[in-house]
Amino acid sequence: MRAVTVHGAEDLRIDTVADPVAAPGEVVIAMEWGGICGSDLSYWRHGASGTAVLKHPLVLGHEVAGRIVEIGDGVDGFALGQAVTVHPSEPVGDTTLPERLAGRTNLYPQTRYFGSAAFDPHTDGGFSERRAVKAWMVRALPDAVDTLHGALAEPLAVALHAVGRAGDVSGRDIVVNGAGPIGCLVVAAARYLGARSVTAADLQQASLDIATRMGATATVNVGAGEALPADSELIFETSGAAGALGSVLHAAARGGTVVQVGNLPGTPTPAVLGDLVTREITWVGSYRFADEIDDAIAALAAGLDVSPIITHRFDLADADEAMRVAGDRGTGSSKVMLRLSAD
């Protein structure tokens, strides 16, 4: 079978690898769709994502969906041909989380994640024609959710987790700084969960247009010199740009909250943080998700429309071009999807 494999910085190949076989407790999924994420782009550009550095070739992809084609011994509750997606996180070891972290499985000390080089050997992702997956990581898709949109359950779960970190957002006015795919999904998630208004801010007008289609009630074009709304009680920072922190914190109301969703650099980086203290801002981190992928699937089944972020679709064979489009905001790209099926 074919697999989208990164061998190093700027070295992406379509490798031929052995077809997987379902071991006991596993199913084999014929993958149909995968969404390109920022970490995929980082491995492709730099041979690393954060502190995870490539030591061996790695199959990319953790936003995937497909259909079950093989069921291993001891697996119940699934059927051949069933449409599914994957919770791509697997805790390592038997550490018991302290009571204060009950249910926050995303904060487990060590976790393998699809398409990650954090461990050696690396954990291959799902950008391949087939993938064997432990059955407990598999999530069935309802009839109302096709595999194209089912592949977006994972990033939508990230957005739902982020919104949940702010508590109840119903009836609140919020700001989302950064209208990339995750930012736009935060817009959609906040509106779905009852936010009264959502102002989206970005450097690119094309991204703001997508945010509007995802439910933003107002936009701010930072690239055109427009400023974030002052005295914002709740801001979601999704750009991950350290240079944006000063303006974000300055826009936050005194006693307000900033939820940091975008991954910040893992190296020393200048940032203006003074308002964090003088405004007594609550700065909250948000990392991946726990079980919100189930909530994401339910939201998709209930009619939450995330299709506006899908701007490009490429065949698996054209994965290198897909990465270049996804990595260039000038193309107008938001979520770039790979068609992983053989046909």
266 CB-contact burial (10 Å; exposed 0-12 / middle 13-18 / buried 19+): exposed
CA 204 to chain CA centroid, nearest Å: 20
142 and 171 housed in the same domain: no
Number of domains the chain contains? 2
39 and 171 housed in the same domain: no
271 and 128 housed in the same domain: no
Is the pTM above the cut of 0.85?
Answer: yes
Assigned domain for 161 exists: no
Range of the domain at 39: 2-156+289-339
277 and 263 housed in the same domain: yes
* pLDDT band (50, 70, 90) for residue 329: confident
Residue 166 has pLDDT above 90, yes or no: yes
193 and 320 housed in the same domain: no
246 and 144 housed in the same domain: no
**Residue that wins the pLDDT comparison between 57 and 95:** 57
Interval 218-277: pLDDT, tens: 999 999 999 999 999 999 999 999 999 999 999 999 999 999 999 998 888 899 999 999
194 and 234 housed in the same domain: yes
Amino acid at 342: A
172 and 263 housed in the same domain: yes
Q: What CATH number is attached to the domain comprising 171?
A: 3.40.50.720
Interval 105-144: pLDDT, tens: 999 999 999 999 999 999 999 999 999 999 999 999 999 9
Exposure string of 142-154, with b = 16+ CB inside 10 Å and e = fewer, is eeebebbbbbbbb
111/79 Cα distance (integer angstroms) = 28
195/81 Cα distance (integer angstroms) = 38
172 and 150 housed in the same domain: no
Report the pLDDT value the prediction gives residue 342, as an integer from 0 to 100: 66
**Domain boundary residue among 259, 285, 311?**
285
Give me the mean pLDDT over the 177-200 stretch: 98
